[in-house]
Structure 1
């Protein structure tokens, strides 16, 4: 029978059972998602920027939830009414609405977090 003192060097060589730890902050999480989720590339495209601006103009730079008019477009989000879940058809052709960043980050995210996760066909 081996003594515990003899097993100590072997413990460091053992592979992790749970895999590598996930990202620890928002910057790391965003960097990981930009590599794994195709929608991150779509959001940086000229096509999306044109579509986003057309939605903001259509809605007259007004948040659909709080009805606040926001002249600074950096504070507005072109939000997918139905989450696209990385589906290209839903991403490009789905219904969009204008939300201010506050409403998008609070009420909309809370509503989406209560929805079932996964791909549903």
Structure 2
């Protein structure tokens, strides 16, 4: 039985019309950190300790949807500690445990961001 051979393409591939990003993702994050120094608070041991405390307090359950949060970042069912009232750099609001709740990554990245963008949170 004869072997099948591949047929060369008759149409050349189209070159991408999208330009290459000017900055890498890491550079974009660095620039955001410089513009908003409070973003560094998320990288502290104090925040990690508070985050674990809130997740434990809420029983690893999304306080908005009731979903059990068993995933590991970046899974949609991974826990995210969310500021109920956006802190916008206000240290008192940022560190206030009563202003924190555990939500799923899916909820935080979709519904919560949408609410904040519309000024409803």
Aligned residue among 71, 96, 113 for 2:117: 113
Match runs of 1:1-121 below 5 Å: 26-72=25-71, 74=73, 75-93=78-96, 95-115=99-119
Instruction: Answer whether contact 1:61 1:73 (CA < 8 A) is retained.
Output: no
Bigger proportion of residues as helix: 1
Instruction: Answer whether contact 1:56 1:98 (CA < 8 A) is retained.
Output: yes
Q: What is the SS of the residue equivalent to 2:103?
A: strand
Structure 1 regions of 5+ residues with no counterpart?
Answer: 1-22, 117-121
- Superposition misfits of 4+ residues, deviation over 2 angstroms: 23-29, 71-74
Structure 2 regions of 5+ residues with no counterpart?
Answer: 1-21
RMSD of aligned Cα (Å): 2.0
Aligned residues: 94
Q: What is the SS of the residue equivalent to 1:77?
A: strand
| Gap change, CA 1:26 and 1:82, over 3 Å in 2 | farther
